[in-house]
Amino acid sequence: MLRSSVDAELAPSFSARLREIEGVRRVVRQPDESADVGSTVFVADVEPAAADRLVEAIAELGIPVDDYLLSKVEVVAPLRRQLGSERGIEGFAWVEVMGQARANSRPLARYLALITVAAVIAALGVVTSSSILIVGAMAVSPDLLPICATCVGIVAGRRVLTQRAVVTLVLGLALVVVVAAVLSALLKWGDLLPAGFKVEDSALNTLAHTDYSTVLVALAAGVAGMLAFETRASAAVGVAISVTTIPASAYLGVSIGSAGSGEALGALAVLAVNVSLLIVAGSATLYVQRWLAGRRNHD
């Protein structure tokens, strides 16, 4: 949905542009009584597929970003149009994806807090060979967000966004390694590790070895993560991303903290391969979506 306050001299041009854009409907125009000077308020329903063209039109008219708001509204009915029309009300809105990427490319306090909690849970999962704890750590971890923000930056050609997202991702995964290493070292110092504990004897020692399944899982997770990033399913599908990152990071940290095992190099290799493939698959998915959306818009 669009809400915009436009100067009186731009109102006719803006009104005409709104009528020209396919996917913009039910345009309402009325005076802005709260403004000191003559302004006109526009309210319109905008389909996701039309959002990018609308933002371009607003920029061409020179309307400041503070003078309009484009928000996403969840539609409950009519269900028939959602399922039956050629485009429906669903669609790919690049402007929305970019906004999500910018918001999640920075190492916010909540991101660091959640990644730390995930590190503690995953480290204990490695120490106790508990798959349940590993799954819990994957559910908590927010590493999906900077990975997808990196993909958006690559596809959009935004170098600053890409660099910021990569820094956030590396910082988060490094924090997992450090926390896991410190925790396992403290457990070893306090004689709280299981008797004769060796990380390579853990039931999770596959986290230090790369094979064909590692590649396939990472590629599939990258596709799922990118698709989920564009919807409200990101929290749930984030587990698919974390299955390739958090366990290996925690295993690497425990290897370092418990005895400096040679398994650390294997876990580091798994982590590097997984992150690289996640970004490749996510970027490819986003590129294909953007290409398909561009074809539909020009048909």
Q: pLDDT tens digit string along 180-191?
A: 999 999 998 888
3-class SS string, 199-255: HHHCCCHHHHCCCHHHHHHHHHHHHHHHHHHCCCCHHHHHHHHHCCCHHHHHHHHHH
Residue 279 has pLDDT above 70, yes or no: yes
pLDDT score for 297: 55
Longest dimension (CA), the chain: 79
Cα distance between residue 205 and residue 127, in whole Å: 11
Residue 81 has pLDDT above 60, yes or no: no
pLDDT tens for 108-162 read: 899 999 999 999 999 999 888 888 898 889 888 888 889 999 999 999 898 999 9
pLDDT score for 88: 42
Cα distance between residue 11 and residue 6, in whole Å: 6
Mean pLDDT score, 3-22:
86
Cα distance between residue 115 and residue 105, in whole Å: 14
pLDDT score for 80: 47
Confidence of residue 299 (pLDDT cuts 50, 70, 90): low
Residue 72 has pLDDT above 80, yes or no: no
Which residues belong to CATH 1.20.1080 in the chain?
95-298
Place of tokens 């008219």: 61
Mean pLDDT score, 37-54:
82
Residue 6 pairs with which residues in a beta bridge? 40
pLDDT score for 86: 44
Q: Cα 108 to chain center, whole Å?
A: 14
pLDDT score for 19: 87
Which residues belong to CATH 3.30.70.260 in the chain?
2-91
Phi and psi angles of residue 185, each rounded to the nearest 5 degrees, phi first: -65, -40
Minimal CA–CA distance to 162: which of 242, 271, 279, 241? 279
List C-alpha distances in Å: 192 to 184, 185, 195, 243.
9, 10, 8, 27
pLDDT score for 146: 93
* In contact, 270 and 72? CB cutoff 8 Å: no
What's the topology of domain 95-298?
A: Glycerol uptake facilitator protein (1.20.1080)
Minimal CA–CA distance to 40: which of 78, 12, 76? 12
CATH of domain 2-91: 3.30.70.260
Cα distance between residue 266 and residue 285, in whole Å: 28
CA-based R_g, the chain, Å = 24
* Residue 139 neighbours by CB distance under 10 Å: 15
pLDDT score for 296: 62
Residue 294 has pLDDT above 60, yes or no: yes
Place of tokens 């009300």: 89
